[in-house]
Amino acid sequence: MQVLAKLKIHGRVQGVFFRQSTREKARELGLSGWVKNMPDGTVEALAAGPESLVNELIAWCHKGPAYARVDKVEASVSKVEERHEATVASGPFEIA
């Protein structure tokens, strides 16, 4: 089943290669979407793909790269209906 996850990661997650590392992990998993820094110091991401692989990225975000300190990950995951799969985030995972 294809899912779409919106993530908000709290902690020391800016200036520690969190976005770059998230992009690398998502691409390794074959996911589509984006990751970006937010003005409030959090990092947001949108990931689309098979449920098991999106869940793997969410689990990874709870740890992040070596210099990050993740305090909390908010995740909202929704199922993508087959008729909408082609219109959900497609293409490589990018830093926005």
18-29 vs 51-61: helix crossing angle, rounded to 10: 160
Q: Is 27 in the active site?
A: no
pLDDT above 70 coverage of the chain, percent: 91
Between 18 and 80, residue with greater pLDDT: 18
Nearest to 41 by CA among 20, 63, 72, 62: 72
Which residues partner with 43 through β-bridges? Answer: 9, 37
Give the architecture-level CATH label for domain 2-83: 2-Layer Sandwich (3.30)
Structure tokens at 79: 């199922």
**pLDDT of the residue at 87:** 55
Rounded to an integer, what distance in angstroms lies between the CA atom of residue 23 and that of residue 91?
Answer: 12
- Is 85 a residue whose pLDDT tops 90? no
Which candidate in 12, 23, 27, 37 is catalytic? 37
pLDDT 10s digits, 7-47 = 999 999 999 999 999 999 999 999 999 999 999 999 999 99
Where are the domains positioned within the chain? Answer: 2-83
